[in-house]
């Protein structure tokens, strides 16, 4: 898609004749011209005959040096013509510029935005015809470690991050129920698994699955690699929807790796990690218990969200 550069009040004349095959034009004035045109962009220039004001040619300027423009001729279904000194040069809106503005699902006037971090209901704004929707489910909780005896340790993985994505919709009508997926509970008792995150759901239009909680573990001798849920669950998009991008729930593999019975991989000892998730839809941390120590709690997953932009 063409990227346009815009400038106000470019209205001048040709300083010298231009043949139909020329790829540069020289203007009689630099007033209104930008100092340069970024690579890959164009400035629209229109030529108009001074004698009748009835003949036109649209050019796309790709570079500027003083009053001289490097141009692509015969743009937007016009014809490369020969022009005379004194013919009119201006930069005004063209059909190509208008069509260059994205006229797909995201075009139009933004009429409303709404963000949900808790469940409720949503009624489309009056006059809206297209909707951009982004969000995520709730993240899974991290499991608690297990009280460990002599010569063994335990480590738990982090909870899964939730599915997330960006989507465009058309044809939505009527009030929609909004369910925001809660974060999975942390495992807080000896050997308890993390809780699953909840699904974020918008009526029958969109489901963003929550992440699974990480699994309970049995103490064992190091080296010890914690394990977690590996199933990937993807978003479900209903009628009228299309996906810009999306990601399924992320596998929660080895969140903690114990290299010995007393120290885990990052160099922390008993009760390492276990923090709650921070970002929307993130999974809670796992944790670690060294030999001859009591369990420690995992971290809770964080809740999801929905953000809706409405366009007329």
Domain shared by 191 and 77, yes or no: no
What local confidence, expressed as pLDDT, does residue 218 receive?
A: 84
Phi/psi of residue 244, each to 5°?
A: -80, -55
Domain shared by 125 and 246, yes or no: yes
Domain shared by 179 and 203, yes or no: yes
Domain shared by 114 and 27, yes or no: no
CA-to-CA distance for 202 and 208, rounded, in angstroms? 9
pLDDT digit of tens for each residue in the chain (312 aa)?
577 888 999 999 999 999 999 999 999 999 999 999 988 889 999 999 999 999 999 999 999 999 999 999 999 999 999 999 999 999 999 988 877 664 444 456 888 999 999 999 999 998 899 999 999 999 999 888 888 888 888 888 888 899 999 999 999 999 999 999 999 999 999 989 999 999 999 999 999 999 999 888 888 887 766 667 778 889 999 999 999 888 888 765 445 444 445 544 433 333 345 556 678 998 888 887 888 888 888 889 999 999 999 998
CA-to-CA distance for 312 and 307, rounded, in angstroms? 17
- Sign of dihedral through CA atoms 92, 98, 102, 106? positive
Domain shared by 145 and 256, yes or no: yes
**Domain count of the chain?**
2
Domain shared by 235 and 176, yes or no: yes
What local confidence, expressed as pLDDT, does residue 66 receive?
A: 95
Domain shared by 213 and 72, yes or no: no
What local confidence, expressed as pLDDT, does residue 252 receive?
A: 56
CA-to-CA distance for 10 and 92, rounded, in angstroms? 8
| Number of neighbouring beta carbons within 10 Å of residue 126 | 9
CA-to-CA distance for 252 and 284, rounded, in angstroms? 10
Q: Which domain holds residue 271?
A: 104-312
Domain shared by 139 and 160, yes or no: yes
Q: Is 300 helix (H, G, I), strand (E, B) or coil?
A: coil
Domain shared by 144 and 224, yes or no: yes
Final residue of a structural domain among 100, 122, 156: 100
Q: Is 99 helix (H, G, I), strand (E, B) or coil?
A: helix
- Compute CA distances 273 → 256, 265, 267, 270, 290, whole Å: 9, 12, 11, 9, 13
Peptide linkage before 71 cis (omega within 30 of 0): no
pTM listed for this prediction: 0.63
CA-to-CA distance for 76 and 224, rounded, in angstroms? 66
CA-to-CA distance for 65 and 205, rounded, in angstroms? 53
What local confidence, expressed as pLDDT, does residue 266 receive?
A: 39
CA-to-CA distance for 88 and 14, rounded, in angstroms? 7
Domain shared by 141 and 253, yes or no: yes
Final residue of a structural domain among 82, 100, 118: 100
CA-to-CA distance for 132 and 301, rounded, in angstroms? 26
Tokens of 280: 């929307």
Domain shared by 77 and 112, yes or no: no
Tokens of 151: 């010569």
Q: Which residues pair with 64 in a beta bridge?
A: 69
Final residue of a structural domain among 59, 81, 100: 100
- DSSP summary character for residue 52: T
- Sign of dihedral through CA atoms 44, 47, 53, 55? negative
Domain shared by 74 and 165, yes or no: no
What local confidence, expressed as pLDDT, does residue 107 receive?
A: 54
What local confidence, expressed as pLDDT, does residue 82 receive?
A: 97
CA-to-CA distance for 154 and 226, rounded, in angstroms? 8
């Amino acid at each position: 898609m063409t990227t346009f550069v815009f400038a106000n009040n470019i209205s001048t004349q040709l300083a010298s004749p231009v043949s139909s095959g020329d790829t540069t034009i020289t203007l009689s004035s630099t007033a209104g011209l930008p100092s340069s045109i970024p690579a890959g962009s164009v400035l629209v220039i229109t030529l108009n005959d001074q004698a009748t004001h009835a003949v036109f040619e649209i050019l796309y300027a790709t570079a500027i040096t003083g009053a001289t423009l490097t141009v692509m001729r015969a743009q937007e279904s016009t014809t490369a013509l020969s022009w005379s000194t004194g013919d009119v040069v201006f930069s005004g809106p063209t059909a190509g510029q208008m069509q260059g503005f994205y006229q797909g699902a995201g075009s139009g006037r933004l009429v409303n935005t709404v963000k949900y971090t808790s469940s409720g209901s949503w009624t489309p704004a009056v006059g809206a015809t297209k909707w951009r929707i982004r969000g995520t489910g709730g993240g899974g909780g991290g499991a608690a470690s297990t009280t460990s005896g002599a010569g063994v340790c335990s480590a738990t993985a982090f909870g899964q991050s939730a599915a997330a994505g960006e989507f465009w919709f058309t044809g939505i009508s009527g009030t929609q129920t909004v369910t925001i997926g809660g974060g999975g509970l942390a495992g807080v008792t000896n050997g308890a698994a993390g809780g699953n995150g909840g699904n974020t759901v918008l009526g029958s239009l969109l489901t963003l699955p929550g992440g699974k909680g990480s699994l309970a573990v049995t103490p064992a001798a190091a080296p010890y690699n914690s394990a977690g849920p590996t199933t990937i669950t993807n978003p479900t998009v209903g009628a009228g929807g299309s996906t810009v991008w999306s990601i399924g729930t992320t596998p929660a593999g080895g969140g903690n790796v114990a290299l010995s019975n007393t120290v885990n991989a990052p160099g922390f000892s008993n009760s390492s990690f276990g923090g709650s998730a921070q970002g929307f839809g993130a999974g809670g941390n796992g944790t670690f218990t060294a030999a001859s120590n009591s369990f420690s709690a995992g971290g809770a997953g964080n809740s999801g969200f929905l953000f809706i932009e409405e366009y007329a």
